[in-house]
Structure 1
Amino acid sequence: MEKKKSMALLRNLFKYGLPIVLSAWLCYYLYTKVDIEAMKEEISKCNYIWIGIALVISIFSHIFRAMRWSIQLNALNIRTPLNPLVWSIFGTYAINLIFPRLGELWRSIYIAKRQDSQFTTVFGSMVCDRLADTVTVLLLTVSTFFIANSAFIAFGEKYPETYQGILNTISSPWVWGVVVAGALLLVWLFTSRTTNKWVLKVRKAVADLWEGFAVIGRMPHKGRWLLYTVAIWGCYFMQLYLAFFAFPFTEHLGIVAALVTFVLSSVSMGIPSNGGLGPWHIAVIFSLGIYGVGMNQAAAFAMIVWGAQTCLLVLLGLYAFIGIALDKRSVTSKQQQSIN
């Protein structure tokens, strides 16, 4: 028992401690190369009206995400009011600031418990939600490569080891071997005739997970779901693009530069970190550098945009948890009244 507890502790330290250490190290590495006083001077030039408008658009991106998830859940007969879904999205991003990736698990647990639904089914719908984001980023990356391929070539020339590492990962036989082995394991789980209780439990969990994932293929309102996807990512892009107008050194760069910055910063969010702290900054500073923005100026831009977004997520998270607490009290009160 003690050994199991020690192993669980080590796994949690690795899972949640590593992103914190990575974020701290990347920020330290990055900002030791920046003239802090010069960066402060650039920050003083910021027009915060544009930052405020960008933050308002950011709120709408979360609401659209809740509305898109609602379509998937409704197709699973998990009919959830919009408010709890919005709270779950706000809470997810707030939790991810402290524990990367834990927010997605939390929102699945919250909705499953509130609606008295199967957790694995709700979790499967969340996985599908996130997979849609991955596909969107891939499509944006490919499109942007054709629009501004010189930016990606510059990235490969400046960071040849990273660029080659990405190519090696994609073509690695080990990666494809794991994919094939996983597929074969799934086939065995669903075709083998066994009475082993653990295999049966795993089989049911996978089936429930797949149910939540595969619902996108048969759900109604697919057009509206796609429209919400465009709205989500349109808001993401616009909040960054509008931030360009907040600084004199980025307001003239144009939409292509904003698109390159947006795509590379979105890709960087795949690296486990606390709300993008570290990887997001590096991606933004590098992207702006391609278009002639100095290191200190780019660092000021990244610091203000990320800092404002983080403050907003904290506030939205507090609002969400207050809303959830009041909602729980209201539901409990109604249940007691119905009993009486």
Structure 2
Amino acid sequence: MKAKLGKIASLFVPLLLGFGLIYYQYTTLSVEELNKIESCFKQADYFYIFLSLFIALFGYWARAYRWKYSLQHLGYKTDFKNDLMSVCVSYFMNLTIPRSGEITRAALLKRYENVPFDKGFGTIVAERIVDLVIFFLFVGLAFVLQFEKLYNFIKGKIAFEKIVLFGITGLILGVVFLLIWIYAEWSIIKKLKNKLSGLIEGMLSILKMKDKWKYIFFSFFIWFTYLLMFYVTIFALPETSDISFDIVIMGFIFGSLAVGFTNGGLGAYPLAIAMIFSLYGISNDIGTAFGWLVWTSQTILTILLGLLSYAFLPLYNKK
């Protein structure tokens, strides 16, 4: 019963949260702002939107191509078309239940390439670790480029004394957690250590690959396509076409975080973009319009590729 309730919650809670954020954003916008957003959609230069979608295709291709190196390391030579279509379906599934795409991708690989589920899933977990490391590199870059802006923003919202208090509290909690992690014999800590050791093992397995440098190259290439497809869309609106690259980096980071917050970033993505753009003097209506343009176009592409791949997989593999 608990497992069933957990599955229902994992499906509907992010979805309801997404619609809640849409409702919140809609009700906080004035009539003039809503009219401006509508005008932006009508007057946008869709050449750059379609260029962004074209670049996104390279991201799909690169993710599938990178996958073959980890599978070959395990001794499995798979059909690239099956890998690519499985990736497309996994992106689509993540729009329904967050993180369900990884399970779906491993299951499809088991069905059509006879790769054991646990091994296929292990390669996907390793991918996620690498992606997380690269994402934090982007975060570090943004922090360096925008330290003064972020510091002034936080300082303007929170008193300096509270910032110091938060810092000391965080340090104390960090030390306490470290001591518990090292010395505690609690079952939950042991389970976490086992899971972490598995993730570390998956990460280290990449370093043992024959083609590890190619794997790493394609990992960076994937994130390059993500950043580039976000960057070119700024030229779709005159109001965003002249923003600097460091602002693009900040929008890209917060947009990426929002994607994992709800189903594919439903509601959260446009709100996050509008909020971060507002720090740089871009009006709320323009930031919202830009966020919805990017999110809508990428979501439509994800749905189309996912459904087409799901339909074509059994036909392609029909014996």
Question: Which residue identity lines up with residue 91 of structure 1 in the other structure?
Answer: V
Q: Secondary structure at the match of 2:266?
A: coil
- State which of 38, 43, 46 in structure 2 corresponds to 1:45: 43
User: Structure 2 vs 1, CA of residues 42 and 169 (structure 1 numbering), >3 Å: closer, same or farther?
Assistant: farther
Q: TM-score, normalised by structure 1?
A: 0.81
User: Structure 2 vs 1, CA of residues 319 and 32 (structure 1 numbering), >3 Å: closer, same or farther?
Assistant: same
Q: Which position in structure 1 is the counterpart of 2:240?
A: 250
Q: Which position in structure 2 is the counterpart of 1:33?
A: 28
User: Structure 2 vs 1, CA of residues 38 and 10 (structure 1 numbering), >3 Å: closer, same or farther?
Assistant: same
Counterpart mapping for 1:170-249 below 5 A: 172=173, 184-185=190-191, 214-249=204-239
Superimposed CA distance per residue, residues 46-89 of structure 1 (whole angstroms, 9 cap, x where no aligned partner):
10000000100011101101111111111011211111111111
Q: Is the 8 A contact 2:129 2:199 kept in 1?
A: no
- State which of 11, 19, 43 in structure 2 corresponds to 1:16: 11
Shift of 1:129: 0.5
**C-alpha separation between the residues in 2 aligned to 1:145 and 1:78?**
41
**C-alpha separation between the residues in 2 aligned to 1:311 and 1:170?**
44
Shift of 1:118: 2.2
User: Structure 2 vs 1, CA of residues 206 and 317 (structure 1 numbering), >3 Å: closer, same or farther?
Assistant: same
Question: Which residue identity lines up with residue 107 of structure 1 in the other structure?
Answer: R
Q: Secondary structure at the match of 2:265?
A: coil
Between 274-283 and 75-84, the greater mean CA deviation after superposition: 274-283
Between 79-88 and 108-117, the greater mean CA deviation after superposition: 108-117
Question: Which residue identity lines up with residue 126 of structure 1 in the other structure?
Answer: I
User: Structure 2 vs 1, CA of residues 117 and 214 (structure 1 numbering), >3 Å: closer, same or farther?
Assistant: farther
Counterpart mapping for 1:260-339 below 5 A: 260-271=250-261, 273-329=262-318, 333=319
Q: Is the 8 A contact 1:120 1:212 kept in 2?
A: no
User: Structure 2 vs 1, CA of residues 92 and 158 (structure 1 numbering), >3 Å: closer, same or farther?
Assistant: farther
**C-alpha separation between the residues in 2 aligned to 1:171 and 1:152?**
24
Shift of 1:269: 3.0
User: Once the two structures are aligned, what percentage of the paired residues are identical?
Assistant: 25
Shift of 1:8: 2.4
Shift of 1:96: 1.1
User: Structure 2 vs 1, CA of residues 184 and 81 (structure 1 numbering), >3 Å: closer, same or farther?
Assistant: same
Between 49-58 and 111-120, the greater mean CA deviation after superposition: 111-120
Shift of 1:277: 1.2
Q: Secondary structure at the match of 1:98?
A: coil
Q: Which position in structure 2 is the counterpart of 1:81?
A: 79
Q: Which position in structure 2 is the counterpart of 1:115?
A: 113
Q: TM-score, normalised by structure 2?
A: 0.86
Shift of 1:300: 0.7
Gaps of 5+ in 1: 1-5, 190-204, 334-340
User: Structure 2 vs 1, CA of residues 157 and 311 (structure 1 numbering), >3 Å: closer, same or farther?
Assistant: farther
Q: Is the 8 A contact 1:45 1:248 kept in 2?
A: no
Shift of 1:155: 5.0
Gaps of 5+ in 2: none
- State which of 45, 48, 57 in structure 2 corresponds to 1:59: 57
User: Structure 2 vs 1, CA of residues 324 and 130 (structure 1 numbering), >3 Å: closer, same or farther?
Assistant: same
Shift of 1:152: 2.6
- State which of 112, 117, 123 in structure 2 corresponds to 1:125: 123
Q: Which position in structure 1 is the counterpart of 2:2?
A: 7
Superimposed CA distance per residue, residues 301-337 of structure 1 (whole angstroms, 9 cap, x where no aligned partner):
11111101111111111221122121231xxx2xxxx
Shift of 1:44: 2.2
Aligned length: 307
User: Once superposed, what is the RMSD of the aligned Cα atoms?
Assistant: 2.9
User: Structure 2 vs 1, CA of residues 139 and 267 (structure 1 numbering), >3 Å: closer, same or farther?
Assistant: same
Question: Which residue identity lines up with residue 293 of structure 1 in the other structure?
Answer: I
**C-alpha separation between the residues in 2 aligned to 1:117 and 1:207?**
23
User: Structure 2 vs 1, CA of residues 91 and 77 (structure 1 numbering), >3 Å: closer, same or farther?
Assistant: same
Q: Is the 8 A contact 1:112 1:119 kept in 2?
A: yes
